[in-house]
Every structure is written in C-alpha cells, then in structure tokens.
Amino acid sequence: MHGFDNRGLDVPQGRFSQSGRFGRMFPELRSLKEFNPGPTELGKVNGAMDGGNPPPTDTSQNNPRIKAGYTFLGQFIDHDLTLDTTSQLEQQVDVTATTNFRTPALELDSVYGLGPAVQPHLYDRDKPFRLLLSPDGNDLPRNSQGTALIGDPRNDENSIIAQLHLIWLKFHNQVFEKEFADMPVGRERFEAAQRLVRWHYQWLVVNEFLPRICGSKLVAKTVADPPFEFSGHAFMPVEFSVAAYRFGHSQTRPGYLLGRTGGIRAAALFPDDPSIPNSVGDLRGFRPIPPELRIEWNSFFGPTAQPSKLIDTKLSRVMLRLPDGVVPPGTPDKNRSLATRNLQRGIDVRLPSGQHVARRLCIKNRLTEDEIWKTNGAKVGSGPAPLWFYNLREGEVRANGRRLAGAGAAIVARTIIACLLADQASYLWQDPEWKPTLGKNGRFTASDLVNYALNLSGANEMASEDVNALEGDD
C-alpha cells in the first residue's frame, strides 16, 4: 500500500485500454544504486525529512496555493492510474516485467470496474445502472464485515479518500438521473452518463488539478505541444509513479479539520502510537465511516478551505511512523517511515538520480549541490540525489513549496497528458475543445463536483476557487 507492500487486489483491465506494464521515461539514464546518507538515515524520525506534527495553529507549513482536498484528489488520481501488486521490501524489480494492473488512463475504472454486467456488486440492483451506496447514503457500500464494495480497495485506506470516492459514486448517479432523463434506462443511457462523468473528471485533472500542482503555463504548453507521447501501448513511467507523483506524501498534514457544524471537528490522520486500534480520533480506513468523521467539503475545497502542507522535503512525522493497518503489524520501526520506503523503492526500481533527469530534460536553473543537500545551514547528504527527494527539493527551492517545479513538474504534466492522448475515449483525443456543462462559465472545479454530486444550491452551495489567480504560479 505504501512503498513496498501490495497496493491492492488484482483489478480487471479497463474497457478502452489494456492494462500495461511499468516502463521508463528515460531508459538511457544510468540508475542510482546508492546515495549518501542512504534511505534509512535520510527518512528516519528526527532526521532531515522529519517535519514534525505541527498543530493547526502553526501555519508555517501551510500552502495557500493548494487546498487540503487536492492531496486526496491526487491520491484518487494515482489509484486510477497505477496498481503494482509485485513490489516488496528490498526486492530488485524488473520494471519492464512488472504489470500495471490499473490501466494507464484516466477512465475512472476504480469507480466503474468492468461495468454492471461483469461486476454487478458495484451497482444498485434496485436502481439499474446506478452505483451502489450505503443504505443511508453516507458511506461506501460494504459487506457484512465492513469491507468496501468498490473497484479499488485502496480508495478506502483513509476516511477522507473513502468519502471522496463516495462523491464520485453520487456524481455518476446524479448525472444518470438528471442529464439523460429522456433516455430509457439501459446500457446506452449508462454509457452516455459514464462518458460525461469521465470527461468532466479528465477536464478537472487537466484544467484544475494539474495547473495547481505544476503551474498553468507548463500545463498549457504540454497540452499544446506534447514533448512526451507513447510510441506504442501506454505504460506507466516509474519516474512518475515511484518518484515525481509521490509529492503528495509531502503535502499530507498530520491532522485535518473535518467541519464546523456543531463546533470545530478535527481528527489526526494517524495515531501517535502506531500499534493502537482504529478510533474516531484518527482517519485510518478499511472500516465503516463513523458519523464523527463525516466531512463537510468546504473544509477541503474552495477559497475558505484549510490548506495542504507545502511541497518540500519535510514530511509530517505521522508519515514517518505509519501505524498498523497501513503497514503490517510487527513492521520494524525503521520500515514504518514512508520517506524511507519511498527512497528504498527508488533504488529497487533503479531510478536515475535527480541531477541526471534534470539535465536530460534541459531544466534551466538546476539545483546546486547546496540547494539539494543543505537544510538549516547544515548539509544532510552529498552527491547524486534520489529523484523523489530531488523533485521535492525543486518545489521547495524554486517554487517556495507552493507547487512542483523543474523536472518534477515536467514528469507529472507529461505523463498525465500522454495518458490522456493515448486513450482514444478521452476528451483530449476525441474533442480537445470540449467544455464542461455541469459547472459554471465553462469550467468545472472540485467545488462544482461536490455541489452537483450532493445537489447543493443557494446558501448551501460551495464557492469555487479561481485557478487562474493562484499564488505562486509561473
């Protein structure tokens, strides 16, 4: 799930593209086999990457450009694109032989699976072609033991992403009910609704999510003149999945404000003691969502939402002490650090160094040795840097932690746009000038997604945030 262990169950291939293999964006670059000071030392608690667990009153790590909900939207997108079931601790992996069981396409197969005919347990038997919800509509559908009945079990790994997945289920059902009411209930109506949902999702990724993460000018340039496209079947570049796209681990706060109704409600992401069982005081998943942990979405999206953490080399300490349930019970303390796990995974799949990738991409104003390795005036390492660490440092040094920069931004933007251009069912392939119809003014924001899915209007409607006026853009 996090770095080494199985990240989920085998998932059937999607309808429009075959499941592919992981591969390399830069196969000609030499791999980084070791670095100074090494994964365990660099990623340990109280080490160079330990950002502590600052309380909500400490705003020093706040990222005003990217609100907290985009951390979990990014996680949702990752689960839609990648699923590697073969990685294990300290295993040397043959990347080209590793199957990506998730299709490298933004097609919401984590939501739809293979459709109602093949996976009927994902759908409502009493309301054909609608996705199944819990009886009260406030949780994912679950079996008698509390296991979520969804297309990707990873979307239940914390209470926030579980509720975001629920929003997408409700969004499909609303589209099916409202936008195609004049069509008879059947497969044709389902496919029309599914296509409209997918295109709004893809547009949201390209025009709202990516500009926040990579900068609007870089994204627009990448769409207009793609510098990277797949020559054959699409695959998932490990430079993306194992390094650049793991920026979200740095964004993650130690705890989150869930809502304000009835007084401020907040919960820790993980408990201080990694061995204690789940409780309403933390956001671990794989269980029915307690009423105390239900989200008010204006705390996660929109202009008044809480911010995410900066994109930098400082991870919240809870991410360096992953609890039981996130990692297997009995995991040694040194292997509970997500930073250590990410750094070791980069060595396992033989990623090149950050410096080599930046040179290969002809990044201007590349990081110096001191910019990479100096923290608070002290050098924490030297020489070639792991690509993941380098990408985080680029964001920290070149964009003040507001977004990705340099090689990291380029890899993320290029990969996602290439996946869309390789999918002949995507809006970028079929109709690149298409505009959303379910938002406002030809746009579709995360707030619009929630408003439509929950049928919010008037005083209850969430405000949208203008992506074109974000702090810290290009």
> Among 12-21, 260-269, 347-356, 462-471, where is mean pLDDT lowest?
12-21
Phi then psi dihedrals of residue 236, to 5 deg = -105, 110
Segment 348-373 mean pLDDT: 97
CA distances 353 to 49, 403, 434, Å, are 18, 21, 39
Is 187 inside any structural domain? no
Q: What is the mean pLDDT of the chain?
A: 90
Segment 435-463 mean pLDDT: 96
Share of the chain above pLDDT 70, in %: 91
Given a cut of 60, whether residue 15 has pLDDT beyond it is no
Confidence band of 147 (pLDDT split at 50, 70, 90): very high
Predicted pLDDT of residue 20: 54
CA distances 274 to 243, 270, 322, 379, 412, Å, are 26, 8, 6, 30, 32
Is 444 inside any structural domain? yes
Which residue has better confidence, 27 or 89? 27
> Among 198-207, 293-302, 318-327, 391-400, where is mean pLDDT lowest?
318-327
> Among 19-28, 35-44, 238-247, 453-462, where is mean pLDDT lowest?
19-28
Is 376 inside any structural domain? yes
Predicted pLDDT of residue 325: 84
Q: Hey, how many other C-beta atoms are within 10 angstroms of the C-beta on 436? A: 20
412 in Cβ contact with 394 (< 8 Å): no
| Tokens found for residue 278 | 């789940």
Sign of CA dihedral 155, 156, 160, 166: positive
Residue among 394, 387, 354 nearest 371 (CA): 394
Q: Which domain holds residue 433?
A: 22-78+196-469
Is 247 inside any structural domain? yes
Structural domains in the chain (count): 1
Is 118 inside any structural domain? no
Is 186 inside any structural domain? no
Is 430 inside any structural domain? yes
Confidence band of 98 (pLDDT split at 50, 70, 90): very low
Confidence band of 203 (pLDDT split at 50, 70, 90): very high
Is 110 inside any structural domain? no
Given a cut of 60, whether residue 425 has pLDDT beyond it is yes
Phi then psi dihedrals of residue 199, to 5 deg = -65, -40
